[in-house]
Structure 1
Amino acid sequence: MSLSGKKILDVVSSRHMVVAVLATITGLYYLLVALTNTMDTETNRHAVGAVLSMKATIHNPGVDWRAVTNSTVANIAYVLIVIWEYLTAFVLLAAGGVWSRVLTGRPRGLDTAVKLSSLGWTMGIVLFLGGFLTIAGEWFRMWGNDDVNASSAALQNFLIAAVGLILVHLPESAAQQPVSVPSEPKAQD
């Protein structure tokens, strides 16, 4: 049995299949997160406000000045986070779609699949490493917040995106590249 000249087992066990599945599942995950944040706005807006206000964290006059207590600013931050989640989801789901075309024998889309996957996971890193771990985690001291501490979830999401980026940017292995066999030298009489 073959799929455009390739054996099915070669396709389903390939690194490209792993990247396609990871991009699709990660995209679906971000879509569910964004939908949840859209449907349960009260809980999630409260969480963003709690982190920005720094009310439930370890207090120190040297860092308490960082607190943002303006509810309008918290709402804007919340909306921007949700929009970013939707955009990340759509990019990764598009990557999964292009990967499916590549895996079914349309190799011309490989470059697009790689670029979309890379963009989507980079967007995830910007959100979770940049936004949640760096800005919320350190600047607003979310790690010490008694009400809301999403540091472990942010780390989990950063690691998934990092694994995806590593996989998508690995060079093709020697087993996947065509092998040229040198001809044996002719014996001289």
Structure 2
Amino acid sequence: MNSRLIKILFTCTVGLYMALVCLNNVTDYRSNFTFVSMVAKMEDTFSVERNGWRSVHNVFFHHLFFIVIILWEAVITTCLLVGTKNMIRKYRTTATEFKKAKSVAMYGFALGVLLWFMVFITIGGEWFLMWQSKNWNVQNTAFFLTACFLLFLLYLNQDDK
């Protein structure tokens, strides 16, 4: 299998994954909102006495945080699926044309790295101390997804023949 086809398949697969993530967040809003709310409230962190000033208890902001995450995921999904379509259209063209076709997908993967690392690891993990939570800690998942998106981004960025 040639590298162009692999790049198209990887991008399409991750785009479909992100579409399912968005679908789950919208169709099961309450369950996923509960996660965001619990992380923001920091109620089950063991250093809440010293660091509780960081917590956010305003439900409006919990909804705002979650809606921003969903919209961010939707932008990633759109970039990846549009990037897939662009690469399919330029599959048999020159390396320069195919490289241009990859650009939207590269933004999608980069936004994915930023979402999982900045929002979940940095803000959720360190600001809201999610790593201290027994029930609401997704640090391992966030790291895994950061690494996957970064690896896909690096592979997609490789030159084509």
CA distance in 2 between partners of 1:113 and 1:83 (Å) = 23
Residue 35 of structure 1: aligned partner: 23
Shift of 1:109: 4.2
CA distance in structure 1 between the aligned counterparts of 2:145 and 2:80, rounded to whole angstroms: 14
The answer to whether the aligner puts 1:76 opposite 2:64 as a matched pair is yes
Contact map agreement 1:48 1:74 (CA 8 A) in 2: yes
Larger-Rg structure: 1
Q: Which has the higher contact order (CA 8 A, sep 6+)?
A: 2
C-alpha contact (below 8 Å) 1:15/1:167 kept by paired residues: no
* Alignment match, 1:59: 47
Q: In the alignment, which of 114, 117, 126 is matched to residue 126 of structure 1?
A: 114
**Shift in Å at residue 56 of structure 1?**
1.1
Compute the displacement of 1:171 (Å).
3.4
Residue identity in the other structure for 2:133: N
Normalized per residue, the structure richer in helix is 2
Question: Deviation digits for residues 111-165 of structure 1, max 9, x if unmatched?
Answer: 3322112100011011100100111011111112122111122112111111111
Correspondent of 1:90 among 58, 62, 78: 78
Normalising by structure 2, what TM-score?
Answer: 0.92
Write the mapping of 1:130-141 to structure 2, written as runs, cut at 5 A. 130-141=118-129
Quote the offset at 1:39 in angstroms.
0.3
CA contact (8 A) 1:99 1:109 kept: no
Aligned-partner Cα distance in 2 for 1:89–1:78: 16
CA RMSD after TM alignment:
1.5
**TM-score when scaled to structure 1?**
0.79
- Tell whether the 8 Å contact from 2:86 to 2:102 is kept in structure 1 after alignment: no
Q: Residue 116 of structure 2 aligns to which amino acid in structure 1? A: F
Q: Deviation per CA, 1:2-56, whole angstroms, max 9, x where unpaired?
A: xxxxxxxxxxx22222111111111111110001000001101110000011001
